[in-house]
């Protein structure tokens, strides 16, 4: 029975990683850049929900909507100001280092506004959850909601990319930006749209992350962001179902290794798995082989 | 482009030369002054800023009070604080900065690792150092260093003793921070001391600062092992999360903390009803009703807009302890730092101080304070004495 | 060509030496404040690790955001050695051996980590170096090593599990790390190590091997087609870079007497700090790294009051520098405007 509890905890953590990883993988797949600041978008989303809810005395729905809107604006602005000028730069490192700079910038702005003290976050999910076997096995409401939302997002993204014109434009831009532009696709606008979707997902992920683990600080997003990137790589970066699988695998591995191996070495194990996966199958679980072009 | 680069490096080089010279400007001002110069060091920025600011502010209040009341033996105190960002290297830099300013006595560093690093320098310079909150065993290994707070091992021993004496539990679970000096120090001593006590340790699970959001596994293990008391030798920020998660999973043992737990009621938006029944060993409770505490809390609130925690209280006491020791030793500020150190060091063993953190404190040559730990329990959102 | 390179290298050494001599004179005349004196050794080891990272990022062209992990290995292995033999070996040979041990272990780990890491490229490599940095930190935090009359005890659980005799001495104590490492590093040693690192890197860059490494950076496929052993050269550069980072670690641990494997010294934030030094000094510009590391370490210390805003300023500077230096549009604009300026000036001269 306790194994099942651990497994469910793993699923809960994993589905949060999955939502973050979906945002990562969208941006990476289409813009071909690692948005290091994605985790910090999550943190920004959390603080917005926290502040708005506090101002409206506990109304979290408005908070989430405001957070989604503001995060989308933030994502698109960041892309326009910091990333777009570097598209086509001589070194791919340039945009990565800029992303690191954006990540630092957001953390430090949050630090100046809210201070380093943690804030306790009120869960946006008010449902107790289900309990089985006479209360022995409990599944928390936030866990169920998180898993459900991640599945909905996964399906919605799949439909969007495969069935809509904009989605096809994204696919085309990810294949070959130059050719896509020749076909009349506005590459800049497509990438901006990707950032908008990715950042909106970050806000949703933030709401769920802080509901499941209710403490908020300027560094809240950093570690989950990195782990979610690991998840995206694990599942095959650029692949949307891959991000989902990678996230769930990572969450379960983390919880089970904490349980059965060592609670203090779980991070080392999680990162170790990343290294092993990349060695055995460098493109990740569902990734496709990319041919190097001269 | 080439030229631009050259110009740029020239600018950089001259900036470096200038900054060097700027550093020289601050000559060593020593002796001959008619004020005592006391310095404080702590993390004023970054993730641990709450602790450092508490120390610096707490000491500031004590200094203001003393100066308003006529100073130490008629000499005013000059006070200055420096930031170390919780970084031992920066802490030593902060110490050197204060030394250039003319510091004669150091209140600091706030945190253990920084305090140990700085003590290496104070020993070489023979400067008196009183750390308000550096609790690791090694903080006071030199004879010029004393501390106000309990040491980590002492807290471990006292906690084990208290749990056993009051029959609080039969099975104890522990959750501690493996990446933190303070937490693992208390844990180790607690585990050692628990041998042969009337309870057994059924689970001891660690976490790290990089992985401090999900405590479901640690709590589940304690629950599965049937622990009826969970010992949390950690800081309040992580503890607030543990209490929330334990509540959502329906696990309600007695939680028992140490002095780092103080502050849990001030976490913004924290549902304080979750902390109901939480016990902690702490030398200071902001809700105490004695005149000294009430006055201190009021002043702190007026000046800094928040409720002081244990760090602030330790620092406040530290300044008064220094005052008592200087008065006992009868030194004057015109003596050299080393002479002041020797005199104050000797006086420390003779004084008996009363402050926020204890009714009676005395010191041994080892630098350790002798004082009674107070156990408090949280009832109705405030601290109540557990006795 | 050859002479020009030699001249450039000599200028770099010259700057370091001149700086050293000026500082020494200032120290002798006693005008240097103790604050400044305390900053000298950290300045040298940050310069050294910046040189190491620049070799990796600028010359090899691979972004590593876990370089402080190698510094951590160098620091811990050498500090362990120095603490364990503090009473049995005299200072000078002990410190030299400590250096060799620290560098050797860092190089060994650089090599081992390089094997998997260098099969990857770009962002993947960055994230894996980050992962390794975190693993190293995480694992060292769980190490407990003690020495007593029965020999060496080791545990990854806690210090009680060591089962030490009463006369035992716990050297590595988990999160508490190593305390009481002898304070052996000083400014002169730091400068010597910096000069040696510069010598190694600059000679590497101007050698046949160095040109091969840069060929890999500039065009991977063309380099492979020319018959350059890509893995071999990448490994070489990466290992050397790790070894130099290890040397910085040795200085680090012998300068501050408490050594803990915590995030603020060895986490990815610290690695990114070093990356900022490298970027602002100019990617690929070794001399720039040294100067940038020194200034960026000094400035916040001298402007202690601005600390709250320091990281904010750094991050903005980082973003702006990248856009100004790398954006194709900005480069074009700069060429146009400054190009015209140059033309004008040329006309005036004429």
Please identify among residues 46-65 of chain A the ones whose CB lies closer than 8 Å to any CB of chain C.
Answer: none
pLDDT the model gives residue B30: 46
Alpha carbon of B250: minimum distance to chain A alpha carbons (Å): 9
Question: What is the ipTM, given to two decimal places?
Answer: 0.84
Mean pLDDT rounded to a whole number for chain B: 86
How many interchain CB pairs under 8 A, B with C? 140
For residue A100, which of C11, B120, C64 has the smallest C-alpha distance? C64
Q: What is the mean pLDDT of each run of 10 residues along chain B (387 residues)?
A: 50 52 44 81 81 92 94 92 88 92 91 90 93 89 91 89 89 90 88 90 88 88 92 90 89 89 82 87 81 92 87 93 92 90 92 87 89 82 75
Disruptive mutation site among B216, B220, B221, B311 for chain A (greatest number of A CBs within 10 Å):
B216
- Alpha-carbon span A229 to A226, nearest angstrom: 5
> Where is pLDDT greater, at B307 or C80?
C80
Q: Which residue has the tokens 């780990």?
A: C109
The number of beta carbons lying within 10 Å of the beta carbon of residue C100 is: 14
DSSP B213-245: S--HHHHHHHHHTT-SEEEE-S-HHHHHHHHHH
Q: pLDDT band for position A20 (50/70/90)? A: very high
* Average pLDDT of the residues in C293-314: 79
- Alpha-carbon span C126 to C131, nearest angstrom: 9
Rounded to the nearest 5 degrees, what angle is found at the Cα of B283, between the Cα atoms of B279 and B288?
80
Alpha helices in chain A (DSSP H): 2-31, 38-55, 60-78, 93-114, 141-163, 165-175, 177-182, 187-212, 222-235, 240-260, 266-280
Q: Against a cut of 0.95, is the pTM above it? A: no
> Where is pLDDT greater, at C103 or A56?
C103
Cβ pair A120:B268 closer than 8 A: yes
Ramachandran region, residue A39 (left: φ > 0; alpha: ψ -120 to 50; beta: rest): alpha
The residue count of chain A comes to 294
Q: pLDDT band for position A200 (50/70/90)? A: very high
Please identify among residues 90-119 of chain B the ones whose CB lies closer than 8 Å to any CB of chain C.
Answer: 92-97, 99-100, 113, 116-117
Q: What is the CA radius of gyration of chain A?
A: 19
Q: Which residues of A214-241 are buried (b: 16+ CB within 10 A; e: fewer)?
A: bbbbbbbbbbbbbbbbbbbbbbbbbbbb
* Average pLDDT of the residues in A129-150: 82
pLDDT the model gives residue A265: 86
pLDDT above 80: residue C341: no
Alpha carbon of A210: minimum distance to chain B alpha carbons (Å): 9
**CA torsion A122→A123→A127→A133, rounded to 10°?**
-110
Record the tokens describing residue C162, joined without a space.
């060591």
pLDDT the model gives residue A293: 46
Could you check whether the bond before residue B109 is cis, i.e. omega within 30 degrees of 0? yes
Record the tokens describing residue C262, joined without a space.
């915590």
Q: pLDDT band for position C343 (50/70/90)? A: low
pLDDT above 60: residue C270: yes
- Alpha-carbon span B281 to C261, nearest angstrom: 29
Distances (CA, A) of C246 to A8, A263, B74, B308: 43, 29, 54, 43
pLDDT the model gives residue B13: 52
Disruptive mutation site among B80, B112, B183, B188 for chain C (greatest number of C CBs within 10 Å):
B188
pLDDT the model gives residue B1: 43
pLDDT by residue (tens digit) across C196-222?
Answer: 999 999 999 999 999 999 998 888 888
For residue B112, which of B80, B79, B154, B140 has the smallest C-alpha distance? B140
CA terminus-to-terminus distance, chain A: 56
* Average pLDDT of the residues in A92-117: 87
pLDDT the model gives residue A254: 92
Q: Which residue has the tokens 């506004």?
A: A113
Task: Count Cβ atoms within 10 A of the Cβ of residue B197 and give its class: 0-12 exposed, 13-18 middle, 19 or more buried.
Answer: middle
Cβ pair B210:C179 closer than 8 A: no
Is B247 in CB contact (< 8 Å) with chain A? no
pLDDT by residue (tens digit) across B160-205?
Answer: 988 998 888 899 999 998 888 888 889 988 998 898 889 999 999 9
pLDDT the model gives residue B14: 56
Residues of chain C with Cβ-Cβ distance to A104 below 8 Å are 272, 311, 314-315, 318
Record the tokens describing residue A208, joined without a space.
């769920």
Alpha carbon of C226: minimum distance to chain B alpha carbons (Å): 31
pLDDT the model gives residue A294: 43
CB-nearest to C179 from B4, B93, B138 is: B138
Cβ pair B27:C31 closer than 8 A: yes
Q: Which residue has the tokens 């070794």?
A: C286
- CATH numbers and ranges of domains, chain B: 35-150+291-372 (3.40.50.2300), 153-282 (3.40.50.2300)
Residues of chain A with Cβ-Cβ distance to B210 below 8 Å are 223, 267
* Average pLDDT of the residues in C300-305: 74
CA C349 to chain centre: 46
Cβ pair A263:B50 closer than 8 A: no
- Alpha-carbon span B145 to B368, nearest angstrom: 9
Rounded to the nearest 5 degrees, what angle is found at the Cα of B102, between the Cα atoms of B97 and B107?
75
Q: Give the chain C residue whose CA is nearest to the CA of A233.
A: C124
- CATH numbers and ranges of domains, chain C: 2-139+182-302 (1.10.3470), 311-350 (no CATH)
pLDDT the model gives residue B378: 87
CB-nearest to A120 from B47, B217, B270 is: B270
Cβ pair A104:C130 closer than 8 A: no
Record the tokens describing residue A33, joined without a space.
């850049």
Record the tokens describing residue B377, joined without a space.
């329990």
DSSP C58-125: IIS----S-HHHHHHHHHHHHHHHHHHTTTTS-HHHHHHHHHHHHHHHHHHHHHHHHHHHTTS-HHHH
pLDDT the model gives residue C307: 65
Q: Give the chain A residue whose CA is nearest to the CA of B244.
A: A214
> Where is pLDDT greater, at A270 or C162?
A270
What is the H or E stretch that residue C310 is in?
Answer: helix C307-326
Cβ pair B99:C34 closer than 8 A: yes
Residues of chain B with Cβ-Cβ distance to C33 below 8 Å are 23-24, 26-28, 96, 100
Mean pLDDT rounded to a whole number for chain C: 86
pLDDT the model gives residue C220: 82
pLDDT the model gives residue A290: 55
pLDDT by residue (tens digit) across A76-96?
Answer: 999 999 999 988 887 777 888
For residue C122, which of A32, A181, A230 has the smallest C-alpha distance? A32
């Amino acid at each position: 029975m306790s194994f099942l509890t651990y497994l469910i905890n793993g699923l809960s953590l994993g589905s949060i990683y999955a939502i973050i990883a979906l945002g990562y993988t969208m941006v990476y797949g289409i813009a071909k850049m690692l948005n290091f600041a994605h985790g910090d978008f999550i943190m920004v989303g959390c603080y917005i929900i926290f502040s708005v809810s506090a101002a409206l005395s506990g109304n979290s729905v408005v908070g989430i909507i405001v957070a989604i809107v503001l995060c989308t604006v933030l994502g698109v602005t960041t892309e326009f100001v910091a990333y777009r000028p570097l598209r086509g730069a001589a070194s791919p490192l340039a945009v990565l280092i800029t992303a690191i700079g954006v990540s630092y910038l957001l953390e430090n702005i949050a630090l100046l506004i809210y201070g380093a003290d943690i804030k306790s976050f009120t869960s946006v999910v008010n449902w107790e959850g289900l309990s089985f076997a006479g209360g022995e096995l409990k599944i928390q409401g936030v866990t169920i909601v998180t898993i459900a939302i991640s599945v909905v997002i996964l399906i919605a993204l799949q439909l969007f990319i495969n069935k809509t014109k904009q989605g096809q434009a994204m696919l085309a831009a990810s294949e070959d930006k130059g050719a896509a532009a020749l076909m009349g696709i506005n590459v800049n606008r497509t990438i901006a749209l990707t950032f908008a979707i990715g950042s909106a997902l970050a806000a949703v992920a933030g709401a769920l992350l802080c509901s499941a683990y209710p403490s908020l600080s300027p560094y809240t997003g950093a570690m989950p962001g990195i782990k979610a990137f690991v998840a995206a790589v694990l599942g095959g970066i650029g692949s949307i179902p891959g991000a989902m699988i990678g996230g769930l695998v990572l969450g379960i591995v983390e919880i089970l290794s904490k349980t059965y191996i060592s609670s203090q070495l779980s991070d080392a194990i999680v990162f170790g798995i990343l290294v092993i996966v990349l060695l055995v199958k460098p493109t990740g679980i569902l990734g496709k082989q990319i041919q190097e072009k001269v | 482009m080439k030229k631009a680069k050259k110009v740029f490096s020239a600018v950089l080089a001259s900036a470096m030369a200038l900054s060097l010279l700027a550093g020289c400007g601050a000559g060593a001002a020593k002796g001959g002054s008619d004020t005592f110069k006391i310095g404080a060091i702590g993390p004023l920025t970054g993730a641990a800023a709450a602790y450092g600011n508490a120390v610096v502010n707490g000491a500031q209040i004590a200094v203001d009070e003393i100066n308003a009341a006529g100073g130490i033996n008629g000499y005013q105190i000059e006070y200055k604080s420096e930031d170390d960002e919780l970084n031992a290297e920066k802490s030593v830099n902060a110490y050197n900065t204060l030394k250039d300013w003319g510091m004669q006595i150091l209140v600091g560093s706030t945190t253990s690792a920084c305090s140990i690093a700085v003590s290496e320098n104070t020993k070489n310079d023979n400067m008196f150092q009183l750390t308000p909150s550096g609790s690791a065993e090694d903080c006071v290994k030199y004879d010029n260093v004393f501390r106000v707070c309990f040491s980590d091992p002492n807290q471990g021993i006292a906690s084990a003793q208290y749990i056993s004496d009051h029959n609080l539990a039969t099975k104890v679970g522990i959750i501690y921070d493996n990446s933190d000096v303070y937490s693992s120090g208390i844990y180790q001593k607690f585990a050692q001391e628990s041998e042969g006590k009337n309870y057994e340790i059924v689970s001891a699970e660690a976490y790290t600062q990089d992985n401090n959001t999900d405590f479901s596994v640690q709590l589940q293990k304690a629950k599965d092992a049937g622990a009826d008391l969970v010992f949390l030798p950690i800081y309040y920020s992580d503890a607030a999360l543990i209490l929330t998660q334990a509540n959502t999973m329906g696990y309600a043992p007695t939680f028992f903390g140490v002095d780092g737990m103080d502050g849990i009621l001030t976490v913004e938006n924290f549902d304080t009803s979750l902390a109901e029944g939480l016990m902690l060993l702490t030398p200071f409770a902001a809700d105490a009703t004695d005149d000294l505490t009430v006055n201190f809390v009021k002043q702190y609130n007026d000046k800094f807009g928040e409720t002081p925690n244990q760090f602030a209280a330790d620092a406040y006491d530290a300044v008064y302890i220094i005052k008592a020791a200087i008065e006992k030793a009868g030194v004057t500020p015109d003596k050299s730092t080393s002479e002041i150190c020797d005199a104050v060091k000797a006086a420390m063993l003779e004084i008996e101080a009363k402050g926020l953190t204890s009714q009676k404190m005395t010191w041994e040559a080892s630098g350790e304070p002798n004082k009674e730990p107070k156990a408090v329990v949280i009832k109705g959102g405030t601290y109540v004495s557990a006795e | 060509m050859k002479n020009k390179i030699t001249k450039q290298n000599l200028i770099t050494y010259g700057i370091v030496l001149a700086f050293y001599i000026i500082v020494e004179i200032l120290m002798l005349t006693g005008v240097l404040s103790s604050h400044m004196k305390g900053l000298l050794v950290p300045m040298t080891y940050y310069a050294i690790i910046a040189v190491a990272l620049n070799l990796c990022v600028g010359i090899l062209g691979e972004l590593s955001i876990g370089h402080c992990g190698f510094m951590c290995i160098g620091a811990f292995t050498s500090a362990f050695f120095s603490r364990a033999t503090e009473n049995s070996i005299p200072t000078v040979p002990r410190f030299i051996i400590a250096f060799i041990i620290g560098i050797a272990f860092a190089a060994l780990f650089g090599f081992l980590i390089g094997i998997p890491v260098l099969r990857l490229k770009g962002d993947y490599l960055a994230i894996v170096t980050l992962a390794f940095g975190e693993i190293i930190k995480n694992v060292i935090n769980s190490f407990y090593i003690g020495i007593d009359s029965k020999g060496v005890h080791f545990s990854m659980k806690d210090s009680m599990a060591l089962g030490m005799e009463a006369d035992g001495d716990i050297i590595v104590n988990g999160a508490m790390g190593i305390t009481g490492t002898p304070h052996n590093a000083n400014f002169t040693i730091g400068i010597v190590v910096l000069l040696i690192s510069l010598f190694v890197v600059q000679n590497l860059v101007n050698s046949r091997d160095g040109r091969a490494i840069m060929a890999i950076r500039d065009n991977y496929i063309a380099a492979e087609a020319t018959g350059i052993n890509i893995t071999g050269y990448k490994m070489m550069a990466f290992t050397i870079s790790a070894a130099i980072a290890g040397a910085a670690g040795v200085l680090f641990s012998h300068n501050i007497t408490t050594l803990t494997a915590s995030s603020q010294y060895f986490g990815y934030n610290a690695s990114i700090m070093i990356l900022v030094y490298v970027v602002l000094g100019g990617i690929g510009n070794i001399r720039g790294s040294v100067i940038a590391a020194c200034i960026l370490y000094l400035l916040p210390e001298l402007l202690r009051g601005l600390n709250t805003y320091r990281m904010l300023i750094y991050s903005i500077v980082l973003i702006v520098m990248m856009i100004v230096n790398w954006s194709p549009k900005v480069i074009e604009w700069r060429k146009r405007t400054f190009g015209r300026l140059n033309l004008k000036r040329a006309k005036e001269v004429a």
